Structures are given as structure tokens and as C-alpha cells.
């Protein structure tokens, strides 16, 4: 083998190795994108399931106390001095991180204090346990529609405050920040039927 042949062989080998590395890097990048998309979809599904579980088990209390079902649109929330975006507060009998019987859920979109995204503040009903969850940091806006009819599109209202009557359906819509994109599952409206009885017993059991 002459020197020229050796140089040509080395060049061909180097080109083949470089091509193989580029192909491997491309496949690896595609796998990373696919894995990230799968994780994002799984997370979005879990968020929808959690919100559905909480809202479908919304309750009103038998006794007269401060617990109400409250949904305020962004304009009303701003006038009350609350955080930006829709504000939703309700009592749920669904199991949560703070209680197995009764939890007061406060959903809102944080825009200050260095914290962004959809936040859930959970407080144990007639208890002292509380926790603050970042449900999804990419959510920049939330709107709420309540309906007294089975069809969420009928007689929908963006505000509902009552300690005696629950809406029959609640529809949540989420938006992302300008440069961000939400998973397709979170871009879709979430319509939840509140099939649970309107009240809970003093012990908190449904």
C-alpha cells in the first residue's frame, strides 16, 4: 500500500465515521424530542385528570360557614384586588395532598413574586394542613365558564358565587405565554360535570 492509498483510506474512514456520528446525533435528538413530547403529554393528561377529580367532587357545606363555590372572571378578580386572571375557589371531597375528606381548592394563575403558571392552593377543610402546588408553569391565563344546565354552552356565565347552589358544569380554558406553547391536551377546553351531591356532612364525609 502506497502512502497515497493510505491517506485515501484514512480519509474515507474518517468521512464514514463523521457521517455515522451525525446520523447517531440526529436519531438521538429525535428521540429526545419524542421523549420530551411524551412527558409533556403525560403531564397534561395528569393535570386534566386532577382538575376533573377535584371539580367533579365539588361540594357545599350543610352548615352556614365561609365555604362557597366562587368563580370570578379576570375583570371582577382585578376589581377585588385578587391575582390576575380567573379565580376559582371550591370545596372538594376528592382525596388531595392535605385531606382525604374535604379540601378547599384555590386555583389561579400567578404573575408575581417570581412565580408563574397555574397554582393550586390546597387547605384542609376544618383542619390546619395546607400546601401550594404549581400545577403547570407554562399556563399564563385561565378562564372559567359555569353553567346551570347540563350543556356547558347553555346560559354560561364567567362568574358564580354561591353557598347553596353549585353549577352543573364548569369549563376551563388555558392559555400560554406569548413565546411558549401548551401541550395539545391543555389547549383543549376542559368541561367538567359536577355530579356530586351539593353538601357534605359535618364530619366531612360525603
Tens digit of each residue's pLDDT (9 = 90 or more) over 106-115: 999 987 666 7
User: Which of 18-32, 40-54, 76-90 has maximum average pLDDT?
Assistant: 40-54
DSSP state of 10: H
Q: Mean pLDDT across the stretch 167-185?
A: 84
Classify residue 150 by burial, with Cβ atoms within 10 Å: 0-12, 13-18, 19+. Answer: exposed
With a cut of 60, say whether residue 129 has pLDDT above it: yes
How open is the CA angle 168-45-98, to the nearest 5 degrees? 70
With a cut of 70, say whether residue 86 has pLDDT above it: yes
Judge if pTM exceeds 0.75: no
> What H or E segment, with its residue span, contains residue 190?
strand 190-193
With a cut of 80, say whether residue 57 has pLDDT above it: yes
Neighbours of 195 (CB within 10 A): 10
**Closest Cα to residue 110, out of 203, 46, 177?**
177
Higher pLDDT, residue 102 or 38:
102
How open is the CA angle 53-120-149, to the nearest 5 degrees? 45
Amino acid at each position: 500500500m502506497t502512502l497515497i492509498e493510505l491517506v485515501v483510506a484514512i480519509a474515507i474512514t474518517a468521512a464514514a465515521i463523521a457521517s455515522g456520528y451525525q446520523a447517531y446525533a440526529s436519531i438521538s435528538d429525535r428521540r429526545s424530542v419524542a421523549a420530551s413530547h411524551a412527558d409533556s403529554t403525560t403531564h397534561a393528561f395528569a393535570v386534566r385528570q386532577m382538575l376533573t377529580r377535584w371539580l367533579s367532587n365539588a361540594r357545599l357545606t350543610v352548615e352556614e360557614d365561609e365555604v362557597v363555590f366562587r368563580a370570578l372572571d379576570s375583570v371582577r378578580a382585578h376589581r377585588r384586588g385578587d391575582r390576575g386572571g380567573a379565580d376559582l375557589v371550591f370545596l372538594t371531597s376528592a382525596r388531595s395532598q392535605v385531606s382525604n375528606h374535604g379540601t378547599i381548592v384555590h386555583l389561579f394563575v400567578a404573575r408575581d413574586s417570581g412565580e408563574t403558571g397555574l397554582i393550586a392552593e390546597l387547605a384542609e377543610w376544618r383542619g390546619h394542613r395546607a400546601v401550594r402546588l404549581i400545577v403547570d408553569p407554562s399556563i399564563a391565563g385561565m378562564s372559567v365558564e359555569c353553567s346551570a344546565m347540563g350543556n356547558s354552552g347553555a346560559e354560561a356565565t364567567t362568574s358564580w358565587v354561591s353557598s347553596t347552589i353549585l353549577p352543573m358544569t364548569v369549563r376551563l380554558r388555558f392559555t400560554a405565554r406569548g413565546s411558549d406553547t401548551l401541550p395539545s391536551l391543555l389547549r383543549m377546553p376542559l368541561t367538567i360535570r359536577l355530579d356530586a351531591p351539593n353538601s357534605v356532612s359535618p364530619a366531612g364525609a360525603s
